[in-house]
Amino acid sequence: MITIKKAIEIIQLDIDDESIDWTSPLGKAYKIAFEALKRITAWRNDNDEDLLWDLPGETTDEEGG
C-alpha cells in the first residue's frame, strides 16, 4: 500500500532518468498515469467533497503508507 504522494515521488525518479525511452507506448502511458495522479491530488486539495474514491492500493498519510 502506498500514498499518491509517495507514488508521485517514486515515478518522478524514473521520469528524471534520461536513460529511459519515454517514446515507447509504455513510456507514454506511464507519463499519462503520472500526470493523472498529480491532477487527482490537485483536485482533492481544492475540493472538500469525497467524490473520488481511493485508488486500488492507495493509503492515506495517517495509515503510514
Domain boundaries, the chain: 4-63
What confidence tens digit (pLDDT) does each residue in 22-48 have?
A: 889 988 998 899 999 999 888 888 877
What confidence tens digit (pLDDT) does each residue in 48-63 have?
A: 766 667 788 888 775 5
Tell me the backbone φ, ψ of residue 2, rounded to 5 degrees: -155, 150
Read off the pLDDT band of 65 (50, 70, 90).
very low
CA 34/CA 57 separation, integer angstroms:
16
Q: Which of 34, 33, 37, 43 is nearest to 13 (CA)?
A: 34
